[in-house]
Structure 1
Amino acid sequence: VFIYRLFWKSKDRPRRIRMEDIKKAFPSHSESSIRKRLKLCADFKRTGVLTASIMRTH
């Protein structure tokens, strides 16, 4: 639910959120486990050397 709220707050089209924001909210989870869980509803896009975003697919 938390991540869906982040998507809806996004002003970008298509809606996207930064991986860094998700990792701050769930510090005990690795980036790969977060990406695995979000695979059903979003696509992972690397936007730079140190940055990445999750884009909502539906």
Structure 2
Amino acid sequence: SWSSPFVQRFAEIPVDRREDALRRWSRETMLPPLRLFFLLVKVFCLYVFYSWVSRARTPTD
């Protein structure tokens, strides 16, 4: 299997470096606005999907 000295799996990184990486990711400034954007898109899509109502068929149709 191919491996690079610069690219490691997350599980292969020493614990202290993993903790530092997770702390940096949690302080990322773009994540909260991005999460909010995807939440709004999800809510909008669900609203549109569940608000569609099919026309009731009448005996004359």
Give the TM-score normalised by structure 1. Answer: 0.24
More strand by share: 1
Greater relative CO (CA pairs within 8 A, separation 6+): 1
Report the structure number with the largest CA radius of gyration: 2
